[in-house]
């Protein structure tokens, strides 16, 4: 037969080959010895006998030209093997000028398709035209799964599927539509392609291989909030009316993995390469350019959403140091207002009138308090995740990551215990742990460098290079100190010579301090414990506070002392005190010593009496409970309890402990016995036992001078015509009389 053009447009939409007389329902058309195609046949009187008419899509599919001779034979389907179970169909608008943004229900489309093309033959790769809702669509048959024969018999299916090249469409066949890759068609309903339901999570994603440790819980929380809706089947998400999370804010101390986590989220997802933007790069000196830079970041996502609608891919935009461009609007007096317009532009792009649903904005900052509050509301950066200091388990993971290569090539000493290092590195951030490993490596390498006129490496010894436990411990002591940890140098000077327990009052204070430390550690009801040590000047309050904080073994200990704020203005002093407390909130267990409170307050008995700004800041911070899961012990010291009483500050402390001076002779003797060295003590006893043996023993201690620190910053006992000690034999049980001249 000869190939001809289909006589009418209406017949072209039937997907049938048209002949003049009644023929078998299905035929095979062979165009070449190796190419054959199966068509369902329809009759029409306008077709010339001896010809077979094809529509334009059919001629394109089969490679036919008008007037071409073809061999036509009968074709019979084996209904036990060739019935269509599921057919995947790619769909797009037939003509691009008819593109619209309407949503097309794939369920209704599938029902009409089956009704219109029932009992017709379809082949994989076949092209056809389909009319739906007065719109013409071009279809391409992607693949065909055969129907289970048991279903045709009315029995339960086995669930097994196999592909076929040619199939017969039946009333109980399933048709699944897949939108063409470049199409802007929007499909809804359950009969959409199942490819859109594939997981957006990269199957190769792994915590440790990506260099992330100690952030398992944070990743779990981010996944629950930000990605659960993207993993769920889209049709169920549509039925729930659920919108995807568009923004995540990661905040926390420097070096804890915010930037690393943001980068790895991009690798974790089957999405486009993330756009990473440093906040300050957005700003431009020319008017309007900063806002244009924001618009450029979202241009690709906007264009794809216009073309593909709900089927658009995910676009990730990462803002590092987002506080540089998103400060509170109106907070910068005298500025040009560039920051305000940049914030406005960003707000409108993330969740404005023309909102985008195919973006995920990740912001990172150390200062969440600086960011405009409108950016943090739901619909914008609604998932706020604190990336804090890693716990011991997290530190083990981080150290394992950074020592993995050394372990692989047998360069890590057998005496290195990662668990021990994790226990010793309380409040170390991930960056500081990485720095610790680098410092240990440098220490180990330094052993193999020859110290001669020229710097050379001892190659023979270098072959046996290993990083040992001592290298890590040396780096811990000398090289790497945690920014949010305990620096022993801060309080070591206060207790240089230890605490001399000259009597029960000192022991009682230390015991009370231990009780308060245990309460802070173990109680779930009192996350904030504060104590005020008050007493006369030079009675050892600061030393006792430093001793209590040292013995607490808290990972964060900081002393807020007036000597570090000399020359500070009131505002600068408030900010410095606030920063100490904010740093303390970042640790699980913290101790802050607020030393010499009246000096912090600039108290003097005459003139301007005190700084009200600092007073109000301290009152707020002393009463402010730490964040959930954090515990804080505050130890204050003062020599002017009466002044704090007038300022209503005593009520801010949970309890007050009085620190007395030495008041009894036996207490002085005990202090001298403990504090004076052996030679001086012997010299003193010799003088004390000379004199009248009849009972009146008078020992003059003016012939020598002894200096002894009873406790740090406490008074120095100086015997230089200062003390007169008299002992009466008649009443040896009476206390020694001590007079201070």
* pLDDT for position 207: 53
Where b means 16+ CB within 10 Å and e means fewer, 532-562 reads bbbbeeebbbbbbbbbbbbebebbbbbbbbb
Answer for the pair 100, 187: CB distance below 8 angstroms, yes or no: no
* pLDDT for position 158: 58
Q: Which two tokens stand for residue 456?
A: 């050379």
Higher pLDDT pick, 634 / 85? 634
DSSP annotation string for 400-466: HHHHHHHHHTT-B-TT--HHHHHHH-TT--HHHHHHHHHHHHHHHHHTTEEESSSEEE-HHHHTT--
List the CATH code of the domain at 488-658: 3.40.50.300
Give me the architecture of the 84-188 domain, per CATH.
Roll (3.10)
Give CA–CA dist 89/124, Å, rounded.
9
Asked if the domains 2-74 and 207-386 are classified in one and the same CATH topology, the answer is: no
Does residue 230 register a pLDDT over 90?
no
Residue with tokens 């891919």: 313
What are 726's strand-pairing partners? 698, 737
Helices (H), 23-158: 56-62, 106-116, 149-152
Answer for the pair 315, 304: CB distance below 8 angstroms, yes or no: yes
The radius of gyration of the chain from alpha carbons, rounded to an integer in Å, stands at 42
In the chain, what percentage of residues exceed pLDDT 70?
82
DSSP annotation string for 250-280: EE-STTSSHHHHHHHHHHHBSSPPPEEEEHH
Long-range contacts of 283-286 (CB under 8 A, 24+ apart): 283/324, 283/325, 283/338, 283/342
Higher pLDDT pick, 496 / 424? 424
- Judged on CB neighbours under 10 Å (0-12, 13-18, 19+), 694 is exposed
Average pLDDT over residues 406-418: 90
Q: First CA to last CA across the chain, in angstroms? A: 135
Q: Which two tokens stand for residue 30?
A: 């062979």
Give CA–CA dist 393/401, Å, rounded.
13
Does residue 227 register a pLDDT over 80?
no
Answer for the pair 281, 292: CB distance below 8 angstroms, yes or no: no
Answer for the pair 363, 326: CB distance below 8 angstroms, yes or no: yes
Supply the mean pLDDT for the chain: 80
* pLDDT for position 302: 87
Sheet strands (E) in 97-207: 103-105, 121-123, 127-132, 135-146, 163-164, 166-168, 174-179, 186-188
Answer for the pair 721, 708: CB distance below 8 angstroms, yes or no: no
Residues 6+ apart with CB under 8 A from 302: 354, 356
Instruction: Find the largest Cα–Cα distance for the chain.
Output: 157
3-state secondary structure at position 21? coil
If one counts every other C-beta atom within 10 angstroms of the C-beta of residue 222, the result is 20
3-state secondary structure at position 140? strand
* pLDDT for position 706: 35
524-570 pLDDT, tens digit per residue, is 889 999 999 999 998 889 999 999 998 998 989 999 999 889 889 99
What are 451's strand-pairing partners? 455
Give CA–CA dist 738/722, Å, rounded.
10
Q: How confident is the model at residue 725 (pLDDT cuts 50, 70, 90)?
A: very low
Helix (H) or strand (E) holding 443: helix 430-446
* Cα–Cα–Cα angle for 280, 283, 287, rounded to 5 degrees: 170
3-state secondary structure at position 152? helix
Average pLDDT over residues 206-233: 72
* pLDDT for position 685: 47
* pLDDT for position 310: 62
User: For the chain, which residues make up each domain, given as ranges?
Assistant: 2-74, 84-188, 207-386, 392-479, 488-658, 665-729
* pLDDT for position 717: 42
If one counts every other C-beta atom within 10 angstroms of the C-beta of residue 179, the result is 23
Answer for the pair 301, 359: CB distance below 8 angstroms, yes or no: yes
Residues 6+ apart with CB under 8 A from 93: 99, 135, 136, 137, 138, 183, 184, 185
Give CA–CA dist 124/426, Å, rounded.
64
In the chain, what percentage of residues exceed pLDDT 90?
21
Does the domain at 392-479 match CATH 1.10.8.60? Answer given as yes
273-300 pLDDT, tens digit per residue, is 788 888 777 877 777 888 888 899 999 8
pTM over 0.85: no
* pLDDT for position 190: 67
Answer for the pair 84, 118: CB distance below 8 angstroms, yes or no: no
List the CATH code of the domain at 207-386: 3.40.50.300
Give CA–CA dist 582/575, Å, rounded.
10
CA distances from 56 to 38, 64, 126, 365 (A): 16, 9, 12, 60
Answer for the pair 429, 398: CB distance below 8 angstroms, yes or no: no
Q: Which two tokens stand for residue 79?
A: 């209904």
Q: How confident is the model at residue 620 (pLDDT cuts 50, 70, 90)?
A: very high
Q: Which two tokens stand for residue 728?
A: 């009466």
**Fold held by 2-74:** Barwin-like endoglucanases (2.40.40)
* Cα–Cα–Cα angle for 483, 402, 461, rounded to 5 degrees: 110
Q: How confident is the model at residue 645 (pLDDT cuts 50, 70, 90)?
A: very high
Q: Which two tokens stand for residue 73?
A: 């034979």
Give CA–CA dist 675/685, Å, rounded.
15
Residue 210 CA, distance from chain mean position: 15
């Amino acid at each position: 037969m000869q190939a001809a053009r289909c006589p009418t447009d209406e017949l072209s939409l039937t997907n049938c080959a048209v002949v003049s007389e009644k023929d078998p329902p299905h035929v095979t058309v062979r165009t070449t010895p190796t190419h054959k195609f199966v068509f369902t046949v329809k009759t029409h009187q306008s077709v010339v006998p001896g010809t077979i008419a094809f529509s334009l899509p059919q001629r394109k599919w089969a490679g036919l030209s008008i007037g071409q001779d073809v061999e036509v034979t009968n074709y019979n389907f084996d209904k036990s093997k060739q019935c269509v179970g599921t057919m995947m169909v790619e769909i797009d608008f037939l003509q691009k000028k008819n593109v619209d943004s309407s949503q097309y229900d794939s369920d209704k489309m599938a029902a009409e398709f089956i009704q219109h093309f029932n009992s017709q033959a379809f082949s994989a790769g076949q092209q056809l035209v389909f009319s739906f809702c007065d719109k013409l669509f071009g279809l391409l048959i992607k693949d065909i799964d055969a129907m289970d024969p048991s279903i045709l018999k009315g029995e339960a299916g086995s669930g097994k599927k196999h592909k076929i090249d040619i199939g017969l469409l039946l009333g109980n066949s399933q048709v699944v539509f897949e939108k063409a890759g470049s199409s802007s068609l929007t499909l809804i309903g359950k009969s959409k392609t199942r490819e859109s339901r594939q997981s957006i999570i990269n199957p190769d994603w792994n915590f440790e291989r990506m260099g992330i440790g100690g952030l398992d819980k944070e990743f779990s929380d981010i996944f629950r909030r930000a990605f659960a809706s993207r993993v769920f089947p889209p049709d169920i998400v549509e039925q729930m009316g659920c919108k995807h999370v568009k923004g995540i804010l990661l905040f926390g101390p420097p070096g804890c993995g915010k930037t690393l986590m943001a980068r790895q989220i991009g690798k974790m997802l089957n999405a486009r390469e993330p756009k990473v933007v440093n906040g300050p790069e957005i700003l431009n000196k020319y008017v309007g350019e900063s806002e244009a830079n924001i618009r450029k970041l979202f241009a690709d996502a906007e264009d794809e959403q216009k073309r593909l609608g709900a089927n658009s891919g995910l676009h990730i935009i990462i803002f590092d140091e987002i506080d540089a461009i998103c400060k509170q609007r109106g907070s910068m007096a005298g500025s040009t207002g560039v920051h305000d317009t940049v914030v406005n532009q960003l707000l409108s792009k993330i969740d404005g009138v023309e909102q985008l649903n195919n973006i995920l904005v990740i912001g990172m900052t150390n200062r969440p308090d600086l960011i405009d509050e409108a950016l943090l509301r739901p619909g914008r950066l609604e998932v706020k995740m604190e990336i804090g200091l890693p716990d011991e388990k997290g530190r083990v993971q981080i150290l394992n990551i950074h020592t993995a290569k050394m372990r692989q090539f047998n360069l890590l000493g057998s005496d290195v215990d990662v668990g021990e290092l994790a226990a010793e590195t309380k409040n170390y951030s991930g960056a500081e742990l990485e720095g610790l490993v680098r410092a240990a490596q440098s220490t180990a390498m330094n052993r193999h460098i020859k110290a001669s006129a020229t710097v050379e490496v001892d190659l023979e010894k270098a072959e046996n290079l290993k990083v040992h436990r001592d290298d890590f411990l040396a780096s811990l002591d000398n090289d790497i100190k945690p920014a949010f940890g305990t620096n022993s140098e801060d309080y070591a000077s206060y207790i240089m010579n230890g605490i001399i327990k000259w009597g029960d009052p000192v022991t009682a204070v230390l015991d009370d301090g231990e009780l308060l430390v245990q309460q802070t550690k173990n109680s779930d009801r009192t996350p904030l414990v504060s104590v005020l040590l008050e007493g006369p000047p030079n009675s050892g309050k600061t030393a006792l506070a430093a001793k209590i904080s040292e013995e607490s073994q808290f990972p964060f200990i900081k002393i807020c002392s007036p000597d570090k704020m000399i020359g500070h203005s009131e505002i600068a002093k408030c900010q410095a005190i606030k920063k100490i407390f904010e740093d303390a909130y970042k640790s699980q267990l913290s101790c802050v010593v607020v030393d010499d409170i009246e000096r912090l307050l600039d108290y003097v008995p005459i003139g301007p009496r005190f700084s009200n700004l600092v007073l109000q800041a301290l009152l707020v911070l002393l009463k402010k409970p730490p964040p959930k899961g954090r515990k804080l012990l505050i130890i204050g010291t003062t020599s002017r309890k009466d002044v704090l009483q007038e300022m209503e500050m005593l009520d801010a402390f949970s309890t007050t402990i009085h620190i007395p001076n030495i008041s009894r002779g036996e207490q002085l003797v005990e202090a001298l016995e403990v504090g004076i060295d052996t030679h001086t003590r012997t010299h003193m006893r010799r003088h004390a036992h000379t004199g009248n043996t009849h009972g009146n023993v008078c020992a003059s201690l003016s012939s020598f001078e002894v200096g002894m620190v009873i406790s740090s910053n406490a008074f120095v006992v100086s015997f230089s015509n200062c003390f007169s000690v008299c002992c009466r034999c008649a009443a040896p049980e009476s206390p020694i009389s001590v007079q201070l001249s």
